[in-house]
Amino acid sequence: MGEQKTHGLTTKEKMAYACGDFGGVLTFSLISSFLTMFYTDCLHIPLAQITILMFVARIWDAINDPLWGGFIDSRKPTKWGRFRPYVMWASIPLAVAAVLMFVKIPGLTTNQYLIYAYVTYILYGMMYTGVNIPYGSLASVMTDDPMERSSLSVWRSVGAGFGNIPSMILLPLLVYSTVIGADGTETKVLDPTKLGFAVLCIAVVSIGIYSLHFRNVKERITVPPKQKQEGMHVFRTVGDLFKNPPFIFLCLVSMLLIAFQMYTQTTYNYLFLNFYEKPGLYSFVTVCTYVPMALFLPIIGKLVRKFGKKEICAFGLAFAAVVNFIMYFLKFTPMVNNPYVFMILLFFSGAGQTFLTLEVWALVMDVIDYHELLSGRREEGTSYALYSFTRKLGQTLAGVGVPILLAVIGYNVDASKQSAEVVAKLYDMATLVPAIVLLVMFLLLTFGYKLSKEKLVDVYAELAKRREQEN
């Protein structure tokens, strides 16, 4: 048997891999940026009902995600590979579900809108699982070279960054309309018609992006013959993963990362609309967050080689936590009313977050490899499904947390303008909570995730030895 080529990625292939997250985040970022506001301000669904919806969707995900991952692991590879076909096949219903999620059907009652929200939101979640689990598993079979994997993680984050551009930069400039109140004051409100048309355009583009991804990536690492076609062993795999401490702690960190990202995207939208009364400036939040990513891209590989993935990510989280606490304490100074000071601090917060954002997918591949070392089996689909489910729990933390906190501070979904007391509390909600979350992430990664730079050298060496013997 000839030697299996397990590395050698081209720049074209890395760009194509990035397109997978580009296509997914194009629609996924709509949820974090606009879905809660669409439910509250356009459909007028009570905040408590939105919270229940998020919980119910996650209960279904707890069943759906591991089963889908186990199904993929148990299938014979097609002529297109183990994972690539599923990404392409599920991308079209994913786009359709995204459009349906933001449709406001005229004349429905609040309860009818709530039922419609249940159906479309859960449908979107299932389709996103259909795409994201095989896509997330794909990187681990494209290459086994540590630095190439780190590079893939960076490229995936770049793809996600581009995917965020429409919902976080363009849409805030396009989907609001001005209404004039009875007292003659003008107020910006979310326009469901404009938003629905924008989502339709984004969904169509996402299908084309997924097509580019499918045609230009290659699976290099195959399952050893003795591991093939064992059938579905979801519960066995899940049990083994719970015995893998690095996997558990990475899941917790990633859960909080996605919660942090979605929570801040949603609350900043409310913040710039109600506190600063400049909703158009929300477009620059993404710029402030992602410009640091562009600055670090040329040197991230050098930093990883010198310090290690875990090490630079932990440092960045500590730095970002400090910056976010500074943002909170601005409330005691006159600068609190200056949105540009706030955005400067967002830039430095983004600089700290950049390391984990760029390297998190490389960390995922490391814990999947570590699972193989511990169990003797390569089960990317189920491993990534469980990891993906914990990220959805993070999505739920944000999706549930925002409505709960809005209710706590007295946010009125039927009011065109919030009271001064509510607006002041909204600032606390948008700054203190993110600071605490970043601090917890730093502690979990530093003291719980044990795959240091030195430890990974031993893991890679042992796996290379085993694969050589098995092939």
CA separation for the pair 53, 270 (Å, rounded): 21
**This prediction's pTM:** 0.72
Q: 277-289, pLDDT tens digit by residue?
A: 888 788 788 788 7
Q: What is the pLDDT of residue 3?
A: 43
DSSP 3-state assignment of 180?
strand
pLDDT tens digit at each of 471 positions of the chain: 344 455 678 889 999 999 999 999 999 888 878 888 899 889 999 988 988 998 888 788 777 777 787 777 777 777 787 888 888 889 999 999 999 999 999 999 999 999 999 999 999 989 998 898 888 888 878 887 778 878 888 888 889 888 888 887 788 888 888 877 667 777 778 899 999 999 999 999 999 999 999 999 888 776 554 444 444 465 676 677 777 888 899 999 999 998 998 899 889 988 988 888 888 788 788 788 778 888 888 888 889 889 999 999 999 999 999 999 999 999 999 998 999 999 999 999 999 999 998 888 889 888 888 887 877 776 666 777 778 778 878 878 887 888 889 989 988 877 778 888 988 999 999 999 999 999 999 999 999 998 888 888 888 788 778 767 765
Looking at the DSSP bridge assignments, the partners of residue 186 are: 180
Superfamily of domain 11-470: MFS general substrate transporter like domains (1.20.1250.20)
Q: Half-sphere exposure of 364 toward its Cβ, with a 13 Å CA cutoff?
A: 35
Q: Is the Cβ–Cβ distance between 389 and 65 less than 8 Å? A: yes
Q: Which residue matches tokens 């194509």?
A: 16
Q: Which residue matches tokens 């967050």?
A: 289
Q: What is the pLDDT of residue 225?
A: 46
CA separation for the pair 239, 248 (Å, rounded): 12
Q: Is the Cβ–Cβ distance between 250 and 361 less than 8 Å? A: no
Q: 352-397, pLDDT tens digit by residue?
A: 999 998 888 889 888 888 887 877 776 666 777 778 778 878 878 8
Q: Which residue matches tokens 């193989």?
A: 372
Q: What is the pLDDT of residue 437?
A: 96
Q: What single string gives the DSSP state of each residue in 105-160?
A: -TT--HHHHHHHHHHHHHHHHHHHHHHHHHHHHHHHHH---HHHHHHHHHHHHHHH
Q: What is the pLDDT of residue 218?
A: 86
Q: What is the pLDDT of residue 344?
A: 93
